[in-house]
Structure 1
Amino acid sequence: MRKLNYKKVFIFLFCLTAAVGTLGLAIKSLAFDKKRTVSAYTTDKNYPEADIQTYVKDNTKGGYSASRPVLHLENIDKQLESYIKKEIKDYEKKWKASDGKASELNLTYTILHFSKQTITISFDKYEQVEGKKQSGTQIFTYDIPSQQKLSIEDIFATDTDYLSVLSDIVFEELTQKEEEGISNSLIKKENKLKAANFNSFSVFKNTLIFYVKTDDSTKTHTIAIKKDLFKDSLLDSYQSQDLNEDRVKEWQPKHIVAKLPVQNEWIDPSKKVIALTFDDGPHPSHTMSILEDLKKFDGHATFFVLGSRVQHYPEVLQKMLQEGNEIGNHSWDHPQLTRLSKNKIEDQIEKTQDAVKKATGTEPNLVRPPYGAINHNVREFMEDMKVSLWDVDPEDWKERNEKKIVNKVMSKAKDGRVILMHDIYQTSAQAAGKIIKQLHDQGYQLVTISELEKVKKDRELSGITISE
């Protein structure tokens, strides 16, 4: 019979007791009661470099769940932890003041962008205390190298006018969204927005994204703006594409503001306006003749160009823009787009966009489909471009009679109307010269399509009406 080794038995019993005790503590730490909070860690599925810490208190009358990212960046992690704990503390204070009535707090987060230079985190909060429900969003952007929270003043040079540019862009964008319930009183042009209005933002590879709230609205409006518009004011580290590219996948906003808003300083919205438009060009002599007549009478027009012609006359497009005119996309070679396959529609639009950009450095944001023919398939490939048709068509392509063209246009000219003509015919160019002079003499301001839309919006906001 083997002799029992009491020393080994003692060691085994000690280890077993310690293991049971440890297990008991673990179970106790995971048990939900009214006095303990569980802090659990998981991995962020979108950004593996980050962990998720969740504070949970299971209490049917006052429980909560609050999460934050753990980035393993000491100072940023401390700030995020402080924010979460303050939210929990404020909630529990309200809950206790309610005499322990049924309440809840749910705080979650989303990493909106994470690059070498910055990280942007959005916290969504839902809170209910004494039957009162509240929800809201807080967005923080941190500079990775310095581990400091950023404000708008931190990313722009102090001696630049970036706030005015931002205000103008936001005003322009929000006036296009009245269907979403934005009241005119929130976006009066004279009320320039302050820096605090722009402190929720992300710095992407090629764009700046602003999450803007107007003063009496809880809705957040996401506005993406190309960095190129701030090339003289945005600091180099935030201008850099390499430093600001997302670590996982660069998200592309659907709508990006690529041009500064039209400034109608020369246009008086209380006076008549009319928009002349010319299709099918450019033409090396007829278009240039029209441009000279417009310049003579301080007028602007919109030219809807064919990509197949743009490539041969880039200098004509450059002159258009230099003199304040506008360029629109009229397809590559004038087919009826509704009869084409999706691939061919896309080719017609994109090739023309590329041709105009090569000639001028900018892409059109207006499109006029040939013959005005448009359907769902055509619209699908126009992205953020606005379709522009017309009110008056003198059929100058068919008439080819200068006097008749002038009479048709002038007999139907009215404030706010869009006139369709073509700049590839000599008779049209000659008629255009007379039309421009007569409209000017009758007190019309000759404007582009975008300027016309701006005037209409200014009139609406200012309560101006025109009677003829």
Structure 2
Amino acid sequence: MVETNAETRKVNRMQQQQKKKKLHKILAVLLIIVCVIAAIVIVAALFSSDGYKDEKSFKAYASSFFKEIDEPKGVGSAKEVVEYGTPLSTAMEYPVVGQEVTDTYINGIVKDLRTQFAEAHKKATDKDKIAMLMDYDTYKSDLGAVGVVFSQEQRAEKERQMQTVSSNVYTYNFSSATGRPLTAIQIFNPGYRSFCSQYFNKYFQDKYKDRLVKGYEKALADSEENFNKFVLTDSGVKFYFDAGSVINAEEGSISAEISYKDLKGTIREQIATRAIDPSKPMVALTYDDGPLPKSSNRILDCLQKYGVVATFFELGQNVSMYPEVVKREAELGMEVGSHSWSHPNLKKLSDKKVKEQIDKTNEALKKACGQTSSVFRPPYGNSSKAVEKYAKAPIILWSVDTLDWKSRKAKSVIKVVKGVKNLDGRVILMHSIYDSTAEATEKLVPWLLESGYQLVTVSELLQYKYNETPKNGKLYGYGYFYLNK
């Protein structure tokens, strides 16, 4: 009996030891699982799309964002800009379409969006964490257009999570021929908003009847504020509507396409080549004393490349020697003006001689390009009653003098132009007979476009910026071409 009890106790001890070993194994496994989970949580916190803490993790955060919406792009290749900062960071993907003029405009758009982002959050502190994220889509149309859509989000850290605080869609259409931006006026016939209003009211009522927000009718009204966000695709025109304007904001911005078949009569059969937006900044480049084949053609090459225009005030004696240059100016849509026959000080001439200088130049212009001067600029800016009487054209001076004739250096010309704080409404004076001016033009034109300026002729500037129909014999002097004067 004693032996039996001893054996029983021995068995019990062995069983208890086995239980302890088993429990230790279970605890060890649980500890390993906890450690693995903790490691996963830490890694996720560092590298998931929920946030970032430094440059390395922001790059991973940006990469995650781009992968979320990684879709084939229709035109060109993608370029990424990822910049970490405190408190502001940016991750932007935008297209390089391979058309230099278009790419110049796109670079300007990206630059503007970054500036706006920084300006909107200039009061942010180092304790804040704010990111701008942007992706894009591209489209190509048989009508001769490339469409670009930028989808932008701004996110801010709240409760240790990055949350979307705003989202925007920006749309642009560019001419495949010139590379320049296209406006609604160039694409649609008058009254297109009325058609869109009727079409989309029915479309959204049929498709989103139970999800329409209160007051959605305002976003679909026949108004200049509406139907401005669109791109041309291979099958129709895709319109975009801001988040919360038509359906619930939580669903973000939405798009809907109208086929070219349905748009017949509303969309132009052929896109207009040029259009001027009076609400946007514009500047007029002007060139005196030409033409001279080498430098004048170099300037024209640049203007043609970027699909822009300028005004040339030519000397009649040079026109008679190089008529082919003047003909090219007219064919490219440049404004061709007179600068007298031989560049005298017209104030010192008799009325008869003034008339002769003007008439003789007009005859040479007519012979070279089939038209007389549409504008006149007196040499040295010296006008007179006789000039006003015989000019038969508006008399145009300038508001920015580059002094290119004096410096003969491209850098000096560029410095003068870039030194003017606001060029909107200005007339810039240069001379087309200097290689240095041609070189400066090649740098200034893309810079002006990137800065948001439309390049127009002097007559267009008067009409669209100053609401003035150019008047023959009227002097538009030094003090005229300034806004808010």
What TM-score, normalized by structure 1, do the two folds share? Answer: 0.41
Highest CA radius of gyration, 1 or 2? 2
The two structures have a TM-score, normalised by structure 2, of 0.40
